[in-house]
Structure 1
Amino acid sequence: MTEILKKVAKKLLDYDIVLKVEFLGTKVRAYLVNGYVLDVYYNQTLGKYSYTLIRENRRIIGWDNAPHHVSVRTHPDHFHDVDGKIKPSYLSGNPLKDLNEVLNVIRNVLLD
């Protein structure tokens, strides 16, 4: 467990849509209102990250930097929208910096 993930878990609890958090190996899982879950994966050594909003075991939206969408302008960083389309992502890959943006987008999805 990295110090950054511990800080992420603490910061997540500051959001009113977050009910509780737990650690699952290299990720933090946040249980959100209305049955949603946010998984935050971060590996500083490998420079890998992902933020995934899940409901009923299905990805709703997510950001990551897996290098498989080479046509995206911000490759390897990309965003999976609610329709499953791949779009550019301008997140930094540092969860402490990205969390506000991620939670703002998630809040909008939860309110729709």
Structure 2
Amino acid sequence: MAELDAVVKGLNLALAWQIKEVELLTDSSTFFRWISDSLSGKSRLKTRAVSEMLIQRRIGLVTSLVEECGLRVQVSLVPSESSKADALTRVPQLWLKTTATPAAVCMAMDYTSIDDLV
């Protein structure tokens, strides 16, 4: 659903900027199949998702935007490993490794009043 919403917003932005050629890049094979089949008229959307009606509505909106505004849309499936956007969200493995074992810590306090602690 989030990717469909992003496509609708992106197409509206392209229309506002008077751009007629749009390339959609996705790492979701499901989304790729939905949009590709819809734009080519190849087949009707088939999904068992709970929000099937919302998905169909958004795909219909994308299709009608493309047809009515004369947009040329190319959809490409990009593996997640090759995605420049995904690279920005990946945490380096070095950061995830713990290098030292935690040492036991002992602490003594000399406060007599709880008010001093607060």
TM-score tier by shorter-chain length is: under 0.3
TM-score by length of 2: 0.23
Name which one, 1 or 2, has greater alpha-carbon Rg: 2
TM-score by length of 1: 0.24
Pick the structure with more helix per residue.
Answer: 2
Pick the structure with more strand per residue.
Answer: 1
Higher RCO (CA-CA < 8 Å; seq separation 6+):
2
